[in-house]
Chain A
Amino acid sequence: MTTIPFTYDVKDDPWVLPYRGTVGMWCLILAESAMFLIFVVAYIFYLGKSLSGPTPKEVLKLPIFDTICLLSSSLTIHLSVTQFQKSSRKGFIGWLAATVLLGIIFLLGTAKEWNDLIFKHDFTIHTSLFGATFYSLVGLHATHVAIGLLMLSIVLVLGLLDKVGEEQTHRFHALSMYWHFVDAVWVVVFLVVYVIGR
């Protein structure tokens, strides 16, 4: 291959740019935040405007145990990433498994809450504005938890099969950013739906 060179004798200062996955994940988080924002605004806007059906105080219980589980999963995923960076396979898999477990407990909690609401209180998305805004906001968040769990489980399985190497550090870190974001959204949802809205 013959080429014409196109370089100057510039002093060799290091040319380091951020990892593309991290930037991509920040972009995704920006887009998701904008979407959640609209659902949160709709929830607050329609608070107390339902023409029929139950009020939030009558049917909603504070999901304190689930919240503790989800928020502590942020800590466990952080520990898992740290252990991964230290190349400690045992620590990485242990904390990751704990994260997946905590996430599953959270989803089961939401499932039970919805089951009670639908079958005991006869409260559905069709009941009132409260139903529409509640199920869409909490459901959107739960969908994100489920997607995050799916991705974490894939990493867990690959980790157990010993298929995760050094070169995946950045990727695993980007995934953990997503999980932290899902937790942060829950803080907002919890405050808006179960504290302020109740």
Chain B
Amino acid sequence: MADLIPLSGIVDLTPDEKQPRLWLQVMHDWIVTVDHKKIGLMYIAASLMFFAVGGIEVLLMRIQLAKPESKFLSPEQYNQLFTLHGTTMIFFVAMPILFGFGNYLVPLMIGARDMAFPRLNAYSFWIYLFGASLLYYSILGGKGVFGGSGIPDVGWFAYAPLTENGFSQGNGSDYWALGIFITGIGTIGTALNITATTICMRCKGMKLSRMPLYVWLMLVTSVMALAAIPPLSAAQIMLVLDRHLGAHFFDTQAGGSAVIWAHFFWIFGHPEVYILVMPAFAFANEIIPVFSRKAIFGYPAMVAASVGIAFISFTVWAHHMFTVGMSAVANTAFVLSTMVIAVPTGIKIFNWLATIWGGKVRFTVPMLFCIGFLFQFTIAGLTGIMLGVAPFNWQLHNSYFVVAHFHYVILGGIFFCLFGAFYYWFPKMTGRMMDETLGKWHFWMFVLGFHLTFDFMHIPGLLGMPREIYTYEPGHHWAIWNMIVTIGAFVQAIAVLIFVFNLVRSHFKGKLAGNDPWDAWTLEWATTSPPPSYNFASEPTVRSRRPLWDLKHPEEPDWEYELGTENEMAAK
């Protein structure tokens, strides 16, 4: 796919002078870089590495659970594995990879040359990598004073009082608290940076009402992260004070409360779900319109729904805690707020459908992943509403039904959009297309594996199988479902291997992409692929939400049609 139009704007046409460089120089460049694109790529690479680690952990767990009374793993190893898997996938994979894409794309989309604070950006990345390495150092690190495990084994939510000295005698809980605390600093730094970048670095004419929805949603995500991560950090400080200075925050024997840890954790934990899903929505907001050949339906409603979700997401946390014995009033309040948050999310789903409706849909791999996302995220939302009803929740809390629900959200929703984003922006990042055939294999294998695993995982949950158990007895009718789930997990692993193979192969042998392979409309496609370190040779000026459309269609530019801006007034 060559460029459809000769004009692609803001491109420096002077040919590059390529000089052979030493391997050491290249490494040095990456380590000292403050370029948002290189930092974004390092985020993505590090997250993919941890994705492989977290994936291997879950495969080991699935082998253990495939049949009843299996001896493949010891109970201790199993506890460590599910703790590492959950912590890794949320803190070291999902969040950094989504912020990594944000790092790469936000300055390009708003026509800026870099982030607002490039050095803070580099710091945030390296501190994240340090925190993640610290947690994994626990495997090599010391055993703690009483010979207890050095590897965290308290679950990704680390419920008190299991983390207190009496129950967690090794250093596992310390590695968990400090590792996550340190990556939290990196997340706060990145969130601050993206917020300041979107507010202060937009190119001329890029008013808030003209920002690409991707940038809008990253702004909302970042502000949410700024308010949601510090409560977790505060709770982790309290935990470390408890463990090392003898404070009593979560020490039930000194009057401390275990429930308040759960409150503090979920005040972080629920907004966190939306911090993860909002960038996924953001990918869909860019990919679906481009492959439906239509402008996004309901731009202002999309922005309003995102801001609405951000606010409401801070009021629903205790729906993770219906079984701790809150008052009926509190239960009712959290049931209602949980129902309310489904409304703006539903608005988004309808807007995407309306965008596809009547469009000339191109079923490329990114679009396939986004359509998969629409189906699966809707189902995930429906089981979410079921679990949001307190009496239903009392029955199924901490069962495999819950595990199936949130994997539906994170894998079926967030990761589908994320894979779509890889296929969509890989040409921009490397200058080469990813292979469509392999991409379709990846998509269909992943859909098959995903549904084998997580559709059938609901059933043992309904049959009463609790989560976080290392094995089970035969005779509960759980065994057959667990076997199917395990088979599905391996199908997904094969799909991911195809994806990784495609990434590597396309990087070296993929078709040359050109500046704008998808005939897209946002500013990142106006520069070369990959973009030069300064992004744009001259600062662009925009007059509508789709600057490249205006450039390609001077006879009917967007600013004559866009509603709700002063353009409309001017047109009249």
Residues of A within 8 A of B (CB): 1-8, 10, 15, 17-20, 23-24, 27-28, 30-32, 34-35, 37-39, 42, 45-46, 49-52, 125-126, 128-129, 131-133, 135-136, 140
Contacts and interface: CB of A to CB of B under 8 A. Distances in A.
Query: Which 5 pairs from chain A and chain B are nearest by CB?
Result: A6-B9, A132-B247, A35-B230, A38-B234, A126-B246
Contacts of A34: 226-231, 234
Contacts, number: 150
B201 interface: yes
Contact of B254 (A10, A20, A51, A135): A51
B541 to A, nearest CB: 5
Interface in B241-297: 241-242, 245-249, 254-257, 260, 264, 267
B191 interface: yes
B237 interface: yes
Interface size range of chain B in the complex: 35 or more
Contacts of B230: 31-32, 34-35, 38
A20 B551 CA distance: 30
Contacts of B14: 1-2
Given A6-B9, A34-B226, A136-B241, 4 more contacts: A4-B13, A6-B10, A17-B202, A31-B188
Contacts of B10: 3-4, 6
B231 A125 contact: no
B451 interface: no
A125 B260 contact: no
Nearest to A12: B204
A132 B7 contact: no
Contact of A2 (B12, B196, B227, B254): B12
B223 interface: yes
Contact of A17 (B11, B199, B537, B541): B199
- Scoring A4, A5, A42, A126 by chain B CB atoms within 10 A of each residue's CB, the highest score goes to A4
Given A6-B551, A23-B195, A125-B241, A30 B538 contact: no
Contacts of A18: 199-200
B201 A17 contact: yes
Contacts of B12: 1-3
A38 B235 contact: yes
Given A17-B202, A45-B260, A23 B227 contact: no
B234 A28 contact: no
Interface string B142-184: 0000000000000000000000000000000000000000000
B538 A3 contact: yes
Contacts of A135: 247
B180 to A, nearest CB: 14
B246 A24 contact: no
A50 B241 CA distance: 17
Contacts of B192: 24, 27-28, 31
Interface of B: 7-14, 116-117, 188, 191-193, 195-197, 199-202, 204-205, 222-223, 226-231, 233-235, 237-238, 241-242, 245-249, 254-257, 260, 264, 267, 526, 536-538, 540-541, 543, 551
A97 B241 CA distance: 35
27 contacts: A3-B13, A4-B8, A4-B9, A4-B11, A5-B9, A6-B540, A6-B541, A8-B543, A17-B200, A18-B199, A18-B200, A20-B196, A23-B116, A24-B193, A31-B191, A31-B229, A35-B231, A35-B234, A38-B231, A42-B260, A46-B249, A128-B255, A129-B255, A131-B247, A131-B248, A135-B247, A136-B249
Nearest to A7: B541
Given A6-B540, A10-B205, A38-B264, A51 B241 contact: no
B543 A136 contact: no
B386 to A, nearest CB: 31
B103 to A, nearest CB: 16
Given A4-B10, A19-B200, A27-B192, A136 B238 contact: yes
A132 to B, nearest CB: 4
Contact of A5 (B228, B246, B538): B538
A151 to B, nearest CB: 16
Nearest to B557: A8
Contacts of B238: 42, 132, 136
A2 B15 CA distance: 10
Contacts of B256: 46, 129, 132
Contact of A30 (B116, B223, B248): B223
Nearest to A2: B13
